[in-house]
């Protein structure tokens, strides 16, 4: 017991109010524990000791989040120093290697530490003396506070099946496996990609499944989908003022800031934000200063910038390396201007085309019960239509009709395949062709007739 407990007279004033009973309470609340070799007699006598304090607490390796680990290490550092004051650099010198071993391969350990210290400060566990120095407050200000966590229930995560490129194909992707693998590689390397293509080529569908494959499991808790539109602003997406319930305005984080915080708190996990129709908004305006931070080589605390709306003096934000962005873009929308060059430089662009062929035929046959011969005819006629669209000087390949138009919902049995396809042409494809050839409706009607005649 002498290895862990010293007399009150030898302790600084900030620790004199922290008895073994109090420390025991904190240990129970936050999963901290004494060194394992405290014997049973010592444990039984803890309740009799009222004027002593613990000089060392060992942080176990059973933590689920960085927040828990770092909170414990702060207490350990102060106990080892016999001082309530410490600097960020002292903490990193003492524990950075331990954190790197626990969660290897992360480059933003310092940023995560700063974030976790900020959480402790908001919980009144720490006082920030200067930009990089802190004071651990006495136990009376932290007793009973639970350490903040944002991790998912571990048992649920363990029970989830793994998800990879083969899973994407099994779900109904008709792209060659090599292209899916290359797209996933580009996402891992560039961290920001945009899937672009004509309408109906499965851009949003693929975006979400690429996210699952990157994460390694089908986990919606690590993905957030956002729809861009002309009225979306920086205040909606990053941070802005919102009315509170008390008739006041308060700063509220948007979806992108929420994902940044999740990613920093859990750097051992990958997070993905899917932005649908990214070119329908004004990306440069919506991202603001975050556009610079999207670059791969700026994903670290050294590149942190102040936001337009700060919640505290000196608050700086960076995008962690475990947050990925997958955007989708409909290249056939005439109403949209060219994509901002600054956005293009920070994203890798992946082209998607209508993908029919044998993989599509086998899938629709197995899922929906449509005859293979009938599907071959649809394939041939849709290919003729898309070749005609591509050859039109006023349209081009970006206006082709995607395969999703002729891919029924999964497991929906088609009892009358001719009636089904005729309905699709009449209610979905025909209006699109009438819009394409609005100045030559005869050409549109001829193309529609070619699709259904003689089936």
DSSP result, 32-82: -B--TT--HHHHHTGGG--SEEES--BPPS--SSHHHHHHHHHHHHHHHHT
* pLDDT reading at 31 higher than 60: no
H helices within 82-143, ranges in order?
A: 88-102, 109-122
Is there a single domain that holds both residue 389 and residue 319? no
Place of tokens 């995607």: 402
Is there a single domain that holds both residue 268 and residue 247? yes
Nearest to 322 by CA among 211, 243, 240: 211
Q: Which two tokens stand for residue 309?
A: 């709306």
Q: CATH number, domain at 43? A: 1.10.10.10
pLDDT of residue 342: 78
The more confidently predicted of residues 319 and 68 is 319
Q: What is the DSSP letter of 151?
A: P
pLDDT of residue 11: 45
CA distance 69 to 116: 10
Is there a single domain that holds both residue 220 and residue 104? no
CA distance 148 to 156: 19
* Residue 252 in domain: yes
* Residue 152 in domain: no
Q: CATH number, domain at 255? A: 3.40.50.300
Q: Mean per-residue pLDDT for 211-216?
A: 96
SS3 of 18, please? Answer: coil
Q: Which two tokens stand for residue 154?
A: 């571990």
Give the pLDDT band of residue 64 (cuts 50, 70, 90): low
Is there a single domain that holds both residue 130 and residue 225? no
pLDDT of residue 48: 39
The more confidently predicted of residues 290 and 152 is 290
Is there a single domain that holds both residue 325 and residue 381? no
What percentage of residues in the chain have a pLDDT greater than 90? 52
* Residue 244 in domain: yes
Q: Which of 289, 322, 351 is the last residue of a domain?
A: 351
The more confidently predicted of residues 213 and 69 is 213
Nearest to 92 by CA among 138, 127, 134: 134
Is there a single domain that holds both residue 221 and residue 299? yes
SS3 of 272, please? Answer: strand
Q: What is the DSSP letter of 146?
A: P
pLDDT, tens digit (0-9, with 9 covering 90-100), for 384-399: 999 999 999 999 999 9
Give the pLDDT band of residue 338 (cuts 50, 70, 90): low
* Residue 180 in domain: yes
Which range is least confidently modeled, 194-198, 412-416, 423-427, 436-440? 412-416
Strands 5-7 and 239-243: unpaired
Burial class from Cβ neighbours inside 10 Å (0-12, 13-18, 19+) for residue 259 reads buried
Q: Mean per-residue pLDDT for 74-81?
A: 82
Is there a single domain that holds both residue 329 and residue 387? no
Name the residue range of residue 408's domain.
357-452
Is there a single domain that holds both residue 318 and residue 346? yes
Tell me how many domains the chain contains: 3
Q: Which two tokens stand for residue 280?
A: 């329908």
* Residue 150 in domain: no
Total-model pTM: 0.69
* Residue 193 in domain: yes
Is there a single domain that holds both residue 259 and residue 333? yes
* Residue 148 in domain: no
Is there a single domain that holds both residue 343 and residue 410? no
Average pLDDT, the chain: 81
Q: Which of 333, 351, 369 is the last residue of a domain?
A: 351
Residue 149 sits at the vertex; the CA angle it makes with 143 and 151, to the nearest 5 degrees, is: 155
* Residue 156 in domain: no
Is there a single domain that holds both residue 98 and residue 226? no
Q: What is the DSSP letter of 143?
A: T
Is there a single domain that holds both residue 26 and residue 83? yes
The more confidently predicted of residues 115 and 271 is 271
Which range is least confidently modeled, 58-72, 298-312, 318-332, 346-360? 58-72
Nearest to 206 by CA among 272, 154, 162, 261: 272
Q: Mean per-residue pLDDT for 367-374?
A: 94
Nearest to 200 by CA among 431, 374, 16, 443: 431
């Amino acid at each position: 017991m002498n290895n862990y407990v010293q007399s009150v007279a030898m302790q600084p004033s900030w620790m004199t109010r922290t008895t073994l009973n109090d420390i025991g309470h904190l240990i129970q609340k936050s999963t901290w524990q004494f060194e394992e070799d405290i014997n049973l007699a010592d444990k039984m006598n803890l309740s009799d000791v009222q004027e002593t304090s613990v000089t060392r607490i060992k942080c176990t390796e059973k933590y689920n989040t960085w927040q828990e680990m770092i909170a414990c290490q702060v207490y350990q550092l102060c106990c080892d120093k016999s001082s309530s004051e410490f600097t960020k650099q002292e903490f990193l010198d003492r524990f950075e290697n331990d954190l790197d071993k626990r969660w290897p391969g992360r480059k933003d350990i310092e940023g995560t530490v700063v974030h976790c210290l900020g959480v402790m400060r908001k919980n009144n566990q720490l006082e920030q003396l200067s930009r990089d120095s802190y004071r651990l407050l006495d136990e009376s200000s932290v007793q009973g506070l639970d350490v903040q966590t944002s991790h998912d229930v571990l048992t649920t995560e363990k029970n989830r099946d793994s998800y990879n490129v083969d899973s994407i194909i099994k779900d109904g992707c008709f792209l060659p496996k090599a292209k899916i693998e290359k797209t996933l590689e580009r996402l891992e390397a560039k961290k920001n990609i945009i899937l672009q293509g004509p309408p109906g080529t499965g851009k949003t569908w693929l975006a979400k499944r690429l996210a699952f494959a990157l994460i390694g499991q089908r986990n919606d808790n690590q993905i957030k989908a956002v729809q861009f539109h002309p009225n979306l602003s920086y205040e909606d997406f990053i941070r802005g003022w919102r009315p509170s319930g008390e008739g006041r305005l308060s700063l509220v984080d948007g979806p992108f800031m929420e994902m940044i915080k999740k990613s920093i708190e859990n750097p051992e996990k990958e997070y993905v934000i899917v932005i649908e129709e990214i070119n329908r908004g004004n990306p440069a305006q919506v991202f603001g200063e975050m556009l610079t931070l999207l670059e791969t080589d700026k994903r670290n605390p050294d590149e942190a910038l102040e936001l337009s709306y700060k919640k505290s003096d000196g608050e700086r934000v960076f995008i962690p390396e475990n947050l990925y962005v997958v955007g989708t873009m409909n290249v056939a929308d005439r109403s949209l201007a060219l994509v901002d060059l600054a956005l293009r430089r920070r994203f890798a662009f992946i082209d998607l085309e209508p993908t029919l062929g044998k993989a599509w035929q086998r899938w629709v046959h197995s899922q929906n019960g449509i005859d293979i011969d009938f599907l071959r005819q649809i394939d041939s006629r849709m290919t003729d239509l898309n070749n005609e669209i591509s050859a039109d000087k006023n349209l081009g390949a970006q206006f082709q009709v995607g395969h999703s138009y002729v891919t029924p919902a999964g497991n929906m049995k088609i009892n009358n395949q001719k009636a089904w396809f005729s309905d699709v042409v009449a209610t979905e494809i025909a209006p699109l062709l009438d819009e394409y050839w609005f100045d030559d409706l005869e050409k549109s009607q001829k193309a529609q007739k070619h699709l259904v005649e003689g089936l």
